[in-house]
Chain A
Amino acid sequence: MSATDTATNGKGLFVGRAMRRKEDPRLITGKASYTEDIVVPGMVHAVLVRSPEAHARITSIDTSAVMERPGVLAVYTGQDVDLESGLPMAWVPPGIEVNTPEHWPLAKAVVKHVGDPVAVVIADTREIAMDAVEDVIVEYDPLPAVTDIEKALEDGADLVHEDFGTNKSHEWSLGGGDLEAGFAEADVILERRVVNHRTSGAPIEPRGVLADYRAGSLTIWSTTQVPHFLRLFLSLILGVSEERIRAIAPEVGGGFGAKLQIYGEEVLCAWLSRKLERPVKWTETRSEHMAASHHGRDQIAYVKVGAKRDGTLTAYHTRILADMGAYLMLLTPTIPSLGAFVMNGCYKTPAVQTDITGVFTNKMPTDAIRGAGRPEATHQIEVVLDQLAAELEMDPLELRRRNFIAADAFPCETALGIVYDSGNYQGTLDKLLEHVDVESVRREAEDLRSRGIHRGIGFSTYTEICGLAPSRVTGPSGFGLQTGLWESAMVRVHITGAVTVFTGTSPHGQGHETGFAQIVADRLGCDPAQVEVIHGDTGTGPQGLGTYGSRSLSVGGEAVSRAAGKVADKIRQIIAHQLEAAPEDIEVADGKFSVKGSPDKGLTLAEASGEAHIPENLPDGMEPGLEETSFYDPENFVFPFGAHCCVVDVDAETGKVDIVRYIAVDDCGPAVNPMLIDGQVHGGVVHGIGQALFERIHYDEDGQLVTGTFVDYALPSAADVPNIETDRTETPSPTNSLGVKGIGEAGTIASSAAVTNAVIDALRPLGVTYMDMPLSPMRIWEAIGEASGPAAGGGAQ
């Protein structure tokens, strides 16, 4: 690797370095191969007919004209598609029954949301299929659309699924401590209704599938974060034995949770390929992504917090209504529960309870989007704390400090019975305040106010739960997932000393090839340039579980480290045997395994591998070869944390928000590659800024999708956001040997609250004391107009 390296920090020769990525040469030259780039001889193209109705009975589908078009191979409706089972919902919150509706790749009788597929046309080219779709005549008998989750729970409400007799999918609670006593003890009780609106994952690469079933075996390329789950569910749904399916996630252009799913199109293309005996490709349009790739968030939380006059938190209760959408997809009902686990936040609050009600609506289902339940939890906690600070007339940071779990209290069991592995919340906040002078921001705010600019500052101090997952917690007898959530790795040293690593994680931009190579290079005394990391292919390496929930380094990286450690142990035994030393006296230094104190006595990795592959002088009973596998199941989750600050200017005339500064101090344990960490934080923070200021999936009251393209759904551009200032502290996790936590979701989890608190802070002098996201110019302008404060208005009265 021709690395632009910075100095090591003493963690290892390569671990700890900001090495530039092994992935990039193919990506910056246009040579990478994404799903849509793959062509298989004989390939045909599928295009879906989707419902324009939010809720309707299909009265007829006329496909007669379609087959008359030259180049059309077939057209199928929901009645034609014979599968062993419908689309999966795999994760139920523990101890409850969930109303789970049937969900098929093509709707069979009733459509439940705009974009619900009703038919598929297969043709020689995509263009012919797109034209032919226009000839599919579907007649609908509209039914009432359910779009408001509060109204959906009222008596006599129209129903999304008549069979259940209710729009509730489930109710689930997680609590700990004496809530009643906590509120009784409080001097102040504050209540807020916090809306966390619906968003889209919106990776820039749309979803796509290419399925090739031939001679009894299926190969499927998919833009997925979870190729192994895809193989498993395709096996169950299609009735094809698992070993006859190879699922490949090639280059994947971002996921953000939107590709953590088993989608109907994946199943359908596989089914079509088997039926037609042709490779079948389908590629999502962006409009289809907005309508029919799962959404995220969409909760209303009724929060009640109790505190003493000095700011000591005594109780926190939140009742969450969570919009499930029309169906339950892979993890839909569990997403709000993930937030419930960290509803204590960074705080000692002795009594905490979350009561969740899942509600069906005639919208696209929600599921995991970057953070998955934890952004919603952190947003409500951190925004409500600022509200409480105002109520107590207290500095919001002082309120946080007073309630932080102390650095010496870890591992710390919270009121919810969750054991936070490690933390130093005061430490990240102190570090943050080295970068921002709150008093000077306040002085600037005074100066700017006369010019109609309202400057505000907001904070968010968060912890999150990631490193999915200890199987004993999440498995069938725990949280109800019908799988373990360990991760695998296989390290293969070739005879030349080159190394291939197989990981069960499935990256889509994170940089695993680089980070994992750094870990292996340190263990094996080689150059990361000679370490190739293979991922996202069920046809290579051991069973894996994919990439989501900020798990890849803390679970997958630990597995890689352990497998490499086993290889290193074998090398030590070989060398000890040959040099008549003790294995424990063999150390890795300067690219060589050598005897402690005698650096010239030893073997390089290539030499050792030669000895292992040409077995003339191995210890008695040792098998030849140099290849080891590890399956690592963590004992606990990991809990990254941090402190973020946002400074905004709000123009009272227009309601426009400019982010003046954004500073993020995060702690994800010791850095393997600090450059990759910064990159994750930058992107994560802007994802949260996007939700706070710009992005919203909006359905009107008839269930029509208003934000169906990138014209209407405002993804932030480079011109909308500032540079993101980053810094770190490093508090090791005791959970894994690397001490690492996750960082992929942290920025998103922290940032929407920091931005919201900053905007509210800016608007307080105008009498605005609370706002929900998205903080769009129109809504801010309206809020200023409606505010009754003495200084309200400016030009906006």
Chain B
Amino acid sequence: MADPVQVSVSVNGERHEADVEPRTLLVYFLRETLGLTGTHVGCDTSNCGACTVHLDGVAVKSCTVLAAQADGAEIRTIEGMSHNGALHPLQEAFWSEHGLQCGYCTPGMIMASADLLERNPDPSEHEVREALAGNLCRCTGYHNIVKAVMAAAKDGQSAGVQA
């Protein structure tokens, strides 16, 4: 076993430091070192996107990032999307539009969608579908996921803020 490396990150606004094996993937660092199990693992080839989190404001698949690479970064996970019990507009929209069934892909879908709306607050349906092509869902057929993202974008627009 290689010597551990020190990782210092801010996750959902809280600073964490830990010594981890160099090969530790960010997703396992979040899930097992920090106990943030909302970020899921659905494949071993970076196809499914269930592990999507924000790294310095950009959506990444945390199964494809070493924890050591995230040293010094600001990370946001699904647990950091609601504040003081108030849901993020995307969480509200996924709930209202029935954008989830088993819920396993949902954290990754919400994080990928938040990244899209950050870059493009008023996406077309086509743009939503393209943006989510790296996140797989077996339950919903994507119909209500797309509807939820469009609804959240519309809410964000009418509120004059970005989602």
Closest-by-CB residue of A relative to B38 is A30
Q: Mark interface residues in B27-70 (1 if CB within 8 Å of A CB, else 0).
A: 00001000011111111110110100000000000000000000
Q: Mark interface residues in B68-102 (1 if CB within 8 Å of A CB, else 0).
A: 00000000011101100001000100111010111
User: With an 8 A cutoff between CB atoms, is B18 at the interface?
Assistant: no
Query: A715 is contacted by which of B78, B130, B136, B145 (Cβ under 8 Å)?
Result: B136
Nearest-Cβ distance from residue B50 to partner chain A, whole angstroms: 6
Nearest-Cβ distance from residue A29 to partner chain B, whole angstroms: 6
- Within 8 Å CB of A709, what residues of B? 43-45, 47
User: With an 8 A cutoff between CB atoms, is B154 at the interface?
Assistant: no
Query: A203 is contacted by which of B95, B138, B144, B146 (Cβ under 8 Å)?
Result: B138
Nearest-Cβ distance from residue A749 to partner chain B, whole angstroms: 15
Name 15 extra pairs, CB < 8 A, besides A285-B44, A679-B139: A24-B100, A28-B106, A29-B38, A29-B87, A30-B79, A204-B137, A206-B41, A254-B101, A679-B140, A682-B140, A683-B138, A717-B135, A718-B132, A719-B130, A723-B146
- Within 8 Å CB of A676, what residues of B? 98
User: With an 8 A cutoff between CB atoms, is A216 at the interface?
Assistant: no
- Within 8 Å CB of A285, what residues of B? 44
Nearest-Cβ distance from residue A271 to partner chain B, whole angstroms: 25
User: With an 8 A cutoff between CB atoms, is A31 at the interface?
Assistant: yes
Please tell me if the beta carbons of B128 and A29 are within 8 angstroms of each other in the complex: no
Per the 8 Å Cβ criterion, residues 237-260 of A in contact with B are 251-254, 256
- Within 8 Å CB of B134, what residues of A? 717
The docked-state distance in angstroms from the alpha carbon of A205 to that of B102 is 9
Query: B101 is contacted by which of A30, A511, A685, A724 (Cβ under 8 Å)?
Result: A511
- Within 8 Å CB of A31, what residues of B? 38, 79
The docked-state distance in angstroms from the alpha carbon of A710 to that of B136 is 10
The answer to whether residues A28 and B42 also contact, given A710-B48, A723-B143 and a CB cut-off of 8 A, is no
Stretch at the interface among A33-41, A416-424, A518-526: A33-41
Per the 8 Å Cβ criterion, residues 646-693 of A in contact with B are 675-676, 678-679, 682-687
Please tell me if the beta carbons of A724 and B141 are within 8 angstroms of each other in the complex: yes
Per the 8 Å Cβ criterion, residues 729-758 of A in contact with B are 747
Query: B42 is contacted by which of A30, A37, A286 (Cβ under 8 Å)?
Result: A286
User: With an 8 A cutoff between CB atoms, is A193 at the interface?
Assistant: no
User: With an 8 A cutoff between CB atoms, is A127 at the interface?
Assistant: yes
Q: Contact residues of B with A, CB < 8 Å?
A: 21, 23, 31, 36-45, 47-48, 50, 77-79, 81-82, 87, 91, 94-96, 98, 100-107, 110, 125, 128-130, 132-146
- Within 8 Å CB of B41, what residues of A? 36, 206
The docked-state distance in angstroms from the alpha carbon of A589 to that of B96 is 28
User: With an 8 A cutoff between CB atoms, is A27 at the interface?
Assistant: yes
The answer to whether residues A30 and B136 also contact, given A24-B100, A204-B102 and a CB cut-off of 8 A, is no
What range describes how many residues of A lie at the interface? 35 or more
Closest-by-CB residue of B relative to A255 is B102
Closest-by-CB residue of B relative to A4 is B96
Nearest-Cβ distance from residue B2 to partner chain A, whole angstroms: 11
- Within 8 Å CB of B79, what residues of A? 29-31
Nearest-Cβ distance from residue B88 to partner chain A, whole angstroms: 9
Nearest-Cβ distance from residue B70 to partner chain A, whole angstroms: 18
**Sample (13) of A-B pairs whose CB atoms are under 8 Å apart:** A29-B82, A29-B91, A204-B104, A205-B104, A253-B104, A285-B44, A509-B139, A678-B144, A682-B144, A687-B141, A710-B47, A719-B133, A724-B141
User: With an 8 A cutoff between CB atoms, is A711 at the interface?
Assistant: yes
Please tell me if the beta carbons of A34 and B40 are within 8 angstroms of each other in the complex: yes
Closest-by-CB residue of B relative to A253 is B104
Closest-by-CB residue of A relative to B111 is A30
The answer to whether residues A710 and B110 also contact, given A28-B100, A205-B104 and a CB cut-off of 8 A, is no
User: With an 8 A cutoff between CB atoms, is A597 at the interface?
Assistant: no
- Within 8 Å CB of A21, what residues of B? 95, 98
User: With an 8 A cutoff between CB atoms, is A621 at the interface?
Assistant: no
User: With an 8 A cutoff between CB atoms, is A566 at the interface?
Assistant: no
The docked-state distance in angstroms from the alpha carbon of A718 to that of B105 is 13
The docked-state distance in angstroms from the alpha carbon of A202 to that of B141 is 13
Please tell me if the beta carbons of A718 and B133 are within 8 angstroms of each other in the complex: yes
The docked-state distance in angstroms from the alpha carbon of A254 to that of B103 is 8
Nearest-Cβ distance from residue A157 to partner chain B, whole angstroms: 35
User: With an 8 A cutoff between CB atoms, is A10 at the interface?
Assistant: no
- Within 8 Å CB of A720, what residues of B? 133
- Within 8 Å CB of B133, what residues of A? 717-720
Query: A287 is contacted by which of B31, B44, B100, B125 (Cβ under 8 Å)?
Result: B44
Per the 8 Å Cβ criterion, residues 494-530 of A in contact with B are 508-511
The answer to whether residues A718 and B129 also contact, given A30-B79, A204-B50, A286-B42 and a CB cut-off of 8 A, is yes
User: With an 8 A cutoff between CB atoms, is A596 at the interface?
Assistant: no
Please tell me if the beta carbons of B47 and A509 are within 8 angstroms of each other in the complex: no
Please tell me if the beta carbons of B145 and A204 are within 8 angstroms of each other in the complex: no
- Within 8 Å CB of A683, what residues of B? 101, 138-141
Q: Which of A20, A204, A709 has the most CB atoms of chain B within a 10 A radius of its CB?
A: A204
Query: A29 is contacted by which of B81, B140, B143 (Cβ under 8 Å)?
Result: B81
The answer to whether residues A24 and B103 also contact, given A683-B141, A719-B130 and a CB cut-off of 8 A, is yes
Please tell me if the beta carbons of B102 and A724 are within 8 angstroms of each other in the complex: no
**What are the 3 tightest A-B residue pairs by CB atom distance, in nearest-first order?**
A30-B38, A253-B104, A509-B102
- Within 8 Å CB of B21, what residues of A? 127
Please tell me if the beta carbons of B98 and A254 are within 8 angstroms of each other in the complex: no
Please tell me if the beta carbons of B98 and A717 are within 8 angstroms of each other in the complex: no
Query: B107 is contacted by which of A30, A206, A508, A684 (Cβ under 8 Å)?
Result: A30
The answer to whether residues A204 and B91 also contact, given A28-B106, A709-B45, A718-B132 and a CB cut-off of 8 A, is no
